[in-house]
Amino acid sequence: MDQKERMLAELPYIASDEVLSRERLECKRRIYELNHVHPDQYNRIPGLLKELFGKSGEAVFVEPPFHCDYGYNIEVGDNFFANYNCTVLDVAKVTIGKNVMLGPNVSFYTAGHPLHHESRNSGYEYGISITVGDNVWIGGSVVIMAGVSIGNNVVIGGGSVVTRDIPDGVVAAGNPCRVIREITEEDRKYYFKKRVFDVEI
- Please give the Cα distance from 50 to 48 (Å, whole number): 5
User: For residue 201, what pLDDT band results from cuts at 50, 70 and 90?
Assistant: confident
Using pLDDT thresholds of 50, 70 and 90, give the confidence band for residue 65.
very high
pLDDT tens per residue across span 99-113: 999 999 999 999 999
- pLDDT at position 181 is 98
At residue 200, does pLDDT exceed 90? no
Rounded Cα gap, residues 134 and 80, in angstroms:
10
> From start to end of 90-169, where are the E strands?
94-96, 100-102, 107-109, 111-112, 124-127, 130-132, 136-138, 143-145, 149-150, 155-156, 161-162
Percentage of residues in the chain with pLDDT exceeding 70?
Answer: 100
Helix then strand then coil, % of the chain, to nearest 5: 25, 30, 45
Q: Work out the mean pLDDT of the chain and round it to a whole number.
A: 97
| Mean pLDDT on 88-98 | 98
pLDDT in tens, 48-59: 999 999 999 999
β-bridge pairing 80-82 and 13-14: unpaired
Q: Which of 38, 67, 113, 117 is catalytic?
A: 113
The reply to whether 67 belongs to the active site is no
Sign of CA dihedral 23, 29, 31, 34: negative
Is the dihedral angle over the CA atoms 9, 155, 170, 178 positive or is it negative? positive
Q: How confident is the model at residue 26 (pLDDT cuts 50, 70, 90)?
A: very high
Strand 94-96 relative to strand 190-192: parallel, antiparallel, unpaired? unpaired
Assign 30 a pLDDT band (cuts: 50, 70, 90): very high
Query: What is the C-alpha separation between 35 and 56, in angstroms, rounded?
Result: 18
pLDDT of residue 131: 98
Domains, the chain, ranges and CATH? 3-196 (2.160.10.10)
Tens digit of pLDDT for each residue in 109-164?
999 999 999 999 999 999 999 999 999 999 999 999 999 999 999 999 999 999 99
- With contact defined as beta carbons under 8 Å apart, do 144 and 128 qualify? no
